[in-house]
Chain A
Amino acid sequence: MSVTNLKLKPQATPQSSAQVIALERTAGPGIDSRLSRLAAAAATNLLPLLVSLTLFILAWQLICSSPESSLPAPTRVLEESWELIAHPFYTGQGVDQGLFWHVFASLQRVALGYAMAAAVGVALGTLVGQSALAMRGLDPIFQVLRTVPPLAWLPLSLAAFQDGNPSAIFVIFITAIWPIIINTAVGIRNIPQDYQNVAKVLRLNGFEYFGKIMLPAAAPYIFTGLRIGIGLSWLAIVAAEMLIGGVGIGFFIWDAWNSSLISDIIVALIYVGIVGFFLDRLIALIGRAITRGTANA
């Protein structure tokens, strides 16, 4: 039964997309209906979000609108931080920069630390997943170290590097690496015996086995680790930057707090959230593109 189902699937997809083109070319109503369908799709997907967002902002406005409120209402945020919202690309002296530049500086640190964590993490994860000896020797250490909170590493790395920037990058590295190691190791350990048998019959050498079987088979797990890692990195960078200073979204928030600019903090938090969301989506997207077809046949 499943045989016929599977047979039909690949044929059905191209047919339907071809139909769409034909409709577009022949008649005006086709475009109209397509537009209205698009609008309907947007309404079903976005409308609930817009409603909840409106309700949230309304509630916020109501709760914080009294003059003695300790937190600003949305209207006051707009009013007080308009400069900040309107000029994200502003460049000034020292840490007096637009929000875009703060986020950009943080992203650079994350990119560097995360890239190193990804490379080292996949390598160590492969080692631990592949060798029972390495597993016994290293896994307990990983399990203990991964519970150390990111910021606890900061004093140590400041002592080691004697400088804020590399310390922050190290904190990102050490935060992101554990889920990458652990998930990669699980992925490697779970490579089906079938694929290993294929590799044995073909007599693939170690290098070929790594590239042709191990990495693709473990890719879904690796990307799960990478996705958790990027989330943790972004969490850690804000905290680390609060302590090391300089340009960066974390220090911006700390600086705003010291200057009692609560509205600025709220704007910065929105930036942090949205950037974090896109980072997560980016890794998920890359993962989907790379692991397409790996879902077991």
Chain B
Amino acid sequence: MTKSYLSLELIDKTFERGGTRTEVLKHVSLSVDKGEFISIIGHSGCGKSTLLNIVAGLTQATTGVVLLDGKVVDEPGPDRAVVFQNHSLLPWLTVYENVRLAVDKVFSATRSKQERHGWTMRNLELVQMAHAADKRPSEVSGGMKQRVGIARALAMEPKLLLLDEPFGALDALTRAHLQDQVMQIHATLGNTVLMITHDVDEAVLLSDRIVMMTNGPSAKIGEILDVPLARPRRRIELASDRTYLKCREAVLKFLYERHRFVEAAE
């Protein structure tokens, strides 16, 4: 277990507020290999975002440990780049400057100014946003903002890419387009990815494995589903693929039959 690239070991998280303890996560253990694409799916309030924040280092686990590439994770850092649900671009910087800020920070010592400029542009090209480099976030669409957020994360060359419901706020067409782009990037760069989602199709389409969380409080991993679909995957062909449908059914069954009693969304 400790041999894997990323491993979460017996993560517990309790929040304490005004004398009342809420146990959010209980005994969450997971190991992820290098280059794997893992989705974490569950109902609202099941603590999946908390789990991602713990891996990102933005929240501390109460007990348990996260190991990435043999090192303990105890603070946020650019080796675990996060793509936030609401893109979190700095509105006073241009698209280019937003990515450049990350590039400058991570590669200030190792790359020349010229190289950092080139690397910034390469990552913008990777998400097809180079044409809007000088625009401000408020001047581009929601999907474009999220693409810049992805470019910013990729530009840090993270060991682990964390996606926190990255397409949740987008319309269906834009979402599909971005999912395809993420698949393509994953195929090209071979990143290790941990993605939070509540979209069953998205999880099946993108993931190698789907981690299904039980409902909170005291959420734990209910089941891990392997998605044995060959890559590259094409959404139209998969729509009638039997393995795809089976995986989809398994996730739906887990979410809506075995764990359908949802506490009021947080």
Contact = CB atoms under 8 A, between A and B. Distances in A.
Interface of A: 1-4, 6-7, 9-10, 194-195, 197-198, 200-204, 208, 212-213, 216-217, 219, 291, 293-297
18 contacts: A3-B141, A3-B143, A3-B171, A6-B140, A194-B84, A194-B86, A195-B88, A200-B57, A200-B76, A201-B56, A201-B78, A201-B82, A216-B92, A217-B92, A293-B91, A293-B138, A296-B91, A297-B145
Nearest to B77: A203
B247 interface: no
Q: Which of A4, A198, A203 has the most CB of B within 10 A?
A: A198
A258 to B, nearest CB: 52
Interface residues of B, number: 36
B231 interface: no
Contact of B101 (A194, A200, A212): A212
B138 A3 contact: no
Contacts of A204: 105
A202 B141 contact: no
A198 B90 contact: yes
A295 to B, nearest CB: 7
Interface in B76-127: 76-78, 80-82, 84, 86, 88-92, 101-102, 105-106
Contacts, number: 83
B223 interface: no
Interface of B: 56-58, 75-78, 80-82, 84, 86, 88-92, 101-102, 105-106, 135-145, 156, 170-171, 174
Contacts of A219: 92
B136 A293 contact: yes
Q: Which 4 residue pairs across A and B have the least CB separation, nearest first?
A: A297-B138, A3-B141, A297-B137, A194-B88
B24 to A, nearest CB: 18
Contacts of B78: 201-203
A222 to B, nearest CB: 13
Contacts of A4: 141
Contact of B139 (A2, A3, A10): A10
Chain A at the B interface: SS class:
helix
Contact of A7 (B75, B84, B140): B140
A2 B80 contact: no
A202 B101 contact: yes
Contacts of A212: 90, 101
Contact of A201 (B80, B136, B142, B144): B80
B174 A3 contact: yes
A162 to B, nearest CB: 46
A76 B53 CA distance: 75
Secondary structure call for the B interface: loop
Contacts of A202: 78, 101-102, 105-106, 156
Contacts of B170: 3
Contacts of B88: 194-195, 197-198
Contacts of B174: 3
Given A203-B105, A204-B105, 15 more contacts: A3-B141, A3-B143, A6-B142, A10-B135, A195-B88, A195-B90, A197-B58, A197-B84, A198-B84, A201-B77, A201-B80, A201-B81, A203-B77, A216-B92, A296-B91
A6 B141 contact: yes
B101 A9 contact: no
Contacts of A7: 140-141, 144
A92 B90 CA distance: 55
Given A294-B91, A294-B92, A200 B58 contact: yes
Nearest to A294: B92
Nearest to A213: B90
Contacts of B90: 195, 198, 212-213, 216
B82 A295 contact: no
Contacts of A291: 92
Contacts of B57: 200
Q: Which of A3, A10, A291, A295 has the most CB of B within 10 A?
A: A3
B207 to A, nearest CB: 23
B159 to A, nearest CB: 13
Nearest to A296: B91
Contacts of B86: 194
A201 B78 CA distance: 5
Contacts of A294: 91-92
B3 to A, nearest CB: 27
Given A197-B82, A198-B90, A294-B92, A3 B76 contact: no
Contacts of B136: 293, 297
